[in-house]
Chain A
Amino acid sequence: MGRALLYLFLGLALVFFLLPVYLVILTALKEPAKITLDAVWRWPDPLYWESFRIAWEAFRPKFQNSVVLAVSATLISAFIGALNGYVLAKWPFRGANLLFALMLFGMFIPYQSILIPLFQFIKAIGLYGTLGGLVLVHVVYGIPIVTLIFRNYYSEIPDELIEAARIDGAGFFGIFRHVILPLSAPAFVVVGIWQFTQIWNEFLFAVTLTRPESQPITVALAQLAGGEAVKWNLPMAGAILAALPTLLVYIFLGRYFLRGLLAGSVKG
């Protein structure tokens, strides 16, 4: 009896979570003329793959922007995070904790409170409307979270290891290079996944700081779906394209995805 109720509840939950996916796929595979409101749930017959081709052509430049943006900003911020975390975990100085707390606050601020000066600043240094400007912004506002994750990870590495390396004559960078870095792979994976997902999915900075030629895919999708004239097969195919990279990351690296999620909220 209890067991049956349990499965009933899980089944209903499954429907709630998967119904939107079903509708998206089905709409993307439908001929535009057949997308009428009263027949939304009917499975397309025949399957119409053309929408994906059209959406891919329309979205390819934006998709490429997103790839360049997310990959480069992720790599840079992982590197910065590793160094910062190393310093805070293994070379703390007086007041380091306070500075770290002040840094962490930057993770929580609503970006509306810095958006206007940021916009002015990016314009003033000539990076408005460029991918470079967006990379800079994501790297800077990513500093708190990447530092947090690496710091928590490195504080688990025993200090004796560092001491031993120091007695052997290794310096600050030597220890980082030969002791810390070889142990860092899991932290890099967590930070990489976290940053890639965040940056790929980000919207506010992207819509404020780009021009059409430098738009990432989220902005293009929001604008396409917001237009009234468009048939729904294109936004749906576009949504699938925009979701695919982060979904693949989630499916294949789910364990690390979850770890980053928990690290980013509760702190480790």
Chain B
Amino acid sequence: MRDRILAFLVLLPSLVLVGIFVYGFIGQTLWVSLTDWGKNPAQALALRPELRFVGLENYRELFTGFVDVRFRQSVVNLVFFTLFFMAGSLGLGLLLALALDQRPKGEGFFRTVFLFPMALSFVVTGTIWRWLLQPQGGVNVLPTLVGLPPLPFPWLTTREQVLVFDWNRLPFYTALLVGLVLLLVAYGAWRGGERRRLFWSLLSGGVLLLWAFTLGSRVQLLPYPEPHGFSLALIGVILAAVWQMSGYTMALYLAGLRGIPVEVLEAARVDGAGSWQLYRYVIFPLLAPITLSAMIVLGHIALKIFDLIFAMAGLDYAPTDVPAIYMYLLAFRGNQFAKGAAIGLLLLLLVALVVVPYLASQLRKEVRR
């Protein structure tokens, strides 16, 4: 009994610290985000600032206010960065793993090289790639080494955007996307014969789509059109991020490939599977759970990305802005703590959407085991 109490006492300080530093601070950030802290510059840095409760005002301003157009571009940037970074890292990582799984000569050497960027900090990676992507140098002059003309692309300094859409259409697109995903879930449930899930996902997906095409397409967030799109200056950042992280996905996939029992592969071959069929019907499905975990990890790294962009483009450059950068700029350069806190909480919400279901399923699996 005494030992049980001792055990609890040993864990207690950590619980208290995590309680305060994680949950307490999140609560405090929530409170700050509901105040006007920083609106009045005289109050911003006061020792005991007078905070007024303003409800969801800060959040409303971020999404529909006149001054926060930069925040909205940063959100769009974040979405595109996350998508392309995940696709790039997963794709390259899988290719590298498949190649190394053929057991080429010097496999260990290749593995070491592909994984070493993981040991670097994003600041080092950013510094290096900033130099590589100088408009008149680095990557752009590589073609001249073989006699071709240099590339003209201004990697980090372009202000060009593609896939531009009007911010006012955001509710429509969001509802459309979520609705389609729900229909996909419904399709999966129908094939798996899960009646309840089929019913609910079909219903909610249908309602969302209905809303999107009726009311949703008429919602006006701003009194004027505001174009946002995929900022091409991000391509360089994505390249650097993929360089740093694809070794990690390679390691995951390689572990997965090596973990497939030989009997399974042989059984499939005996059943007459060709090598493409082997990949399509046996190997890739077995790698799916790894893809899911990798997506979770990469996704939450992407949502938090800060140091890489800080080192590559700096704080003040809007075309490569992401919410983490804008939050730092507002709170620690502009002393607009309330708005910074609101962005911090929005980021938390995004990450929680990704991570909580994952953690819950992992723990449930463990309890079952």
Contacts and interface: CB of A to CB of B under 8 A. Distances in A.
Interface of A: 6-7, 9-10, 13-14, 16-20, 23-24, 27, 37-38, 40-41, 80, 83-84, 86-88, 91, 93, 97, 99, 101-106, 108-119, 121, 140-141, 143-144, 147, 171-173, 197, 200-204, 207-208, 218-219, 221-222, 225-226, 232, 235-236, 238-239, 242-243, 246-247, 249-251, 254, 257-258, 261-262, 265-267
Nearest to B324: A112
Contacts of A208: 328, 332
Contacts of A147: 14
Contacts of A236: 127-128, 131
16 contacts: A10-B110, A13-B110, A23-B138, A37-B134, A83-B11, A97-B367, A103-B18, A108-B300, A114-B21, A197-B119, A203-B306, A218-B123, A235-B127, A243-B121, A246-B119, A247-B116
B132 interface: yes
Contact of A116 (B32, B114, B132): B32
A9 B99 CA distance: 8
Contacts of A103: 14-15, 18
Interface string B1-32: 01110111011001101100111111011001
Interface string B336-353: 010011011101101100
B18 A101 contact: no
Task: Give the interface size class of chain B.
Answer: 35 or more
A29 to B, nearest CB: 14
Contact of B95 (A9, A201, A235): A9
Given A99-B15, A114-B25, A173 B138 contact: no
B121 A117 contact: no
A103 B113 CA distance: 34
Given A106-B18, A110-B303, A118-B21, 7 more contacts: A14-B113, A23-B131, A116-B331, A201-B123, A239-B127, A242-B123, A246-B119
B29 A114 contact: yes
A97 B11 CA distance: 13
A218 B243 contact: no
Contact of B22 (A20, A114, A232, A238): A114
B141 A116 contact: no
Contacts of B324: 110, 112
A202 B122 CA distance: 8
Chain A interface SS verdict (over half): helix
B348 A91 contact: no
B356 interface: yes
A246 B121 contact: yes
B302 to A, nearest CB: 11
Interface string B128-157: 111110101110011001000000000000
B124 A239 contact: yes
A80 B28 CA distance: 26
A112 B307 CA distance: 12
A267 B4 contact: no
B81 interface: no
Given A23-B131, A109-B22, A140-B18, A87 B95 contact: no
A37 B26 CA distance: 47
Contacts of A14: 110, 113
A37 B363 contact: no
B116 A250 contact: yes
A115 B344 contact: yes
A59 B15 CA distance: 37
Contacts of A101: 359-360, 363
B180 interface: no
B222 interface: no
B317 to A, nearest CB: 10
